[in-house]
């Protein structure tokens, strides 16, 4: 009996050891673009462009690409169009971030020309009439067989119009009500409460010359402050990096973006619906061998990551505020250590494992740290993850349509209808009053005319007599 018990213990240990050595058969990466210029120039007009990826942002993603190539050499070796899918939102900063990351992954792995291809040189040349210019370029490439210099690998990056990008951007024609939600939140009670908690910081900033009158004003200020810091620039000499005022500005900016655009409750569910269901399709396809992809790269935004982080209760406005209050009180440990805002080049990795004889499982990694979604376990089985994700979204297609395209697309429609009804009632009462007055006058006039006729008839009879 003891030997049997020992055997079972050793068997369990061996199983765990084997699973620890497993490598993912597919990885889905979602990342925020790298460092960029500010969205607006009202705070720091020294920036000549807006919302564009900077050199720093390019370097961030190149480094990420090199790290990914080291982490997953079995998935990111030579380029295989059937195994890799790259998609980006249709913005320069995300497209360039994807390109920078791919440069790191496939550096020096590009194709080379065969001797036969080089021998048939005419097939390599474009149909250009000025052969002199063509020959100059051919001569420059005489010492390399690489299809592109430095053996660069060209990779297709897929994208759709932002207004139709329900997968990575949300809103637009896919969810018209999102625009209404974005407009309602900046000045609602929750935003006002956070703005009030920043009263001392707001007064200090206004003394420095910044015009902070509402929660929204922290958005462009924080945006410029962070962008300047990434370029080693100083927005204002009295806003020292990591000071309490600096941290308050960054918190206010991040809280505002998360609260207004990340969404919560049914809005969060609606804006995450397409992404979550696509992730599940990819996982289930891999499990049943209908999905040939090994690596899926999705270049997106902080708001995209925030929706996924919010669904799984990792990062949301509430825990951001709790962590900020904890830091302000000088506490050493954060109450929500995993509640971190997705700063530039932040990354979510979803590793999919499909070992033989065991249910496929998934590991959720946020900025290189594994997050336990299923209790205290570092992984979730596919069925656990699917149940967790669908419970978090908790919408049917019909409910999604109702939430996103409800007939009442104006948040003030109820008030407008009330005003119309009251106005109509008043007009109706006034009209009835006027009509009654008209009838009364009409009757009096008729009565008066009748009396005059009677008197004239009586007078005529008297005269006749």
Q: Which phi and psi (to 5°) does residue 261 adopt?
A: -105, -25
What is the pLDDT, as a whole number, of residue 265?
82
Is residue 394 pLDDT above 60, yes or no?
yes
pTM of the model: 0.83
Q: Do residue 305 and residue 377 come from a single domain? A: yes
Q: Do residue 188 and residue 226 come from a single domain? A: yes
What pLDDT digit, counting tens, does each position of 301-357 carry? 999 999 999 999 999 999 999 999 998 888 989 999 999 999 999 999 999 999 999
* Residue 431 or residue 272, greater confidence: 272
Is residue 214 pLDDT above 60, yes or no?
yes
**Residues forming beta bridges with residue 26, ordered by sequence position:** 352
Q: Do residue 269 and residue 332 come from a single domain? A: yes
Q: Do residue 436 and residue 376 come from a single domain? A: no
* Residue 460 or residue 388, greater confidence: 388
What pLDDT digit, counting tens, does each position of 176-204 carry? 899 888 998 999 999 999 999 999 999 99
Q: Is residue 145 part of a domain?
A: no
**Residues forming beta bridges with residue 362, ordered by sequence position:** 352, 380
What pLDDT digit, counting tens, does each position of 406-429 carry? 554 444 544 544 555 676 667 777
Domain that holds residue 424: 412-453
Q: Do residue 417 and residue 316 come from a single domain? A: no
Q: Do residue 199 and residue 338 come from a single domain? A: yes
Q: Do residue 161 and residue 309 come from a single domain? A: yes
Asked whether 83 and 75 are in contact (CB, 8 A), the reply is yes
What is the pLDDT, as a whole number, of residue 461?
44
Asked whether 269 and 228 are in contact (CB, 8 A), the reply is no
Q: Do residue 356 and residue 417 come from a single domain? A: no
Distance of alpha carbon 229 from alpha carbon 35, whole angstroms: 10
């Amino acid at each position: 009996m003891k030997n049997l018990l020992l055997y079972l213990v050793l068997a369990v240990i061996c199983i765990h050891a084997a699973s620890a050595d497993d490598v993912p058969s597919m990885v889905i990466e979602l990342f925020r673009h790298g460092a960029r210029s500010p969205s607006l120039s009202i705070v720091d007009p020294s920036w000549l462009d807006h919302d564009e990826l900077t050199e720093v942002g390019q370097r961030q993603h190149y480094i990420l690409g090199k790290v990914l190539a080291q982490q997953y050499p079995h998935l990111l070796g030579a380029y295989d169009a059937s195994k890799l899918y790259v998609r980006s939102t249709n913005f320069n900063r995300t497209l360039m971030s994807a390109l920078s990351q791919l440069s790191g992954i496939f550096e020096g792995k590009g194709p080379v020309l065969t001797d036969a291809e080089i021998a048939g040189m005419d097939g390599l040349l474009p149909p250009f009439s000025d052969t002199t210019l063509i020959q100059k370029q051919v001569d420059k490439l005489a010492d390399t067989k690489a299809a592109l210099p430095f053996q660069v690998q060209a990779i297709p990056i897929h994208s759709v119009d932002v207004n139709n990008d329900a997968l990575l951007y949300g809103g637009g024609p896919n969810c018209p009500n999102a625009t209404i939600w974005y407009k309602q939140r900046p000045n609602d009670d929750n935003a006002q409460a956070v703005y009030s908690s920043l009263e001392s910081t707001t007064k200090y900033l206004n003394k420095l010359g910044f015009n902070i009158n509402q929660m929204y004003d922290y958005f462009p200020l924080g945006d410029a402050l962070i962008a300047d810091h990434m370029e080693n620039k100083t927005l204002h000499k009295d806003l020292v990096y990591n000071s309490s005022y600096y941290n308050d500005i960054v918190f206010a900016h991040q809280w505002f973006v998360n609260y207004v655009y990340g969404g919560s409750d049914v809005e969060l569910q609606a804006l995450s619906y397409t992404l979550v269901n696509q992730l599940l399709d990819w996982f289930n396809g891999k499990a049943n061998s209908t999905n040939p992809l090994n690596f899926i790269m999705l270049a997106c935004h902080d708001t995209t990551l925030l929706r996924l982080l919010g669904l799984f209760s990792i990062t949301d406005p509430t825990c951001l505020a709790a962590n900020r209050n904890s830091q302000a009180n000088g506490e050493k440990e954060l109450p929500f250590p995993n509640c971190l805002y997705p700063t530039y080049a932040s990354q979510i990795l979803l590793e999919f494992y499909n070992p033989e004889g065991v249910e496929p499982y998934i590991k959720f990694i946020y900025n290189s740290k594994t997050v336990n979604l299923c209790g205290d376990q570092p992984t979730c089985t596919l069925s656990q993850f699917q149940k967790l994700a669908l419970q978090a979204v908790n919408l049917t297609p019909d409910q999604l349509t109702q939430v996103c395209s409800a007939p009442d697309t104006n948040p003030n429609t109820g008030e407008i209808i009330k005003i119309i009804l009251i106005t109509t009632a008043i007009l109706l009462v006034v009209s009835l009053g006027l009509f009654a007055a008209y009838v009364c006058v009409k009757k009096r006039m008729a009565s008066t005319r009748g009396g005059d006729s009677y008197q004239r008839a009586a007078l005529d009879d008297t005269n006749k007599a």
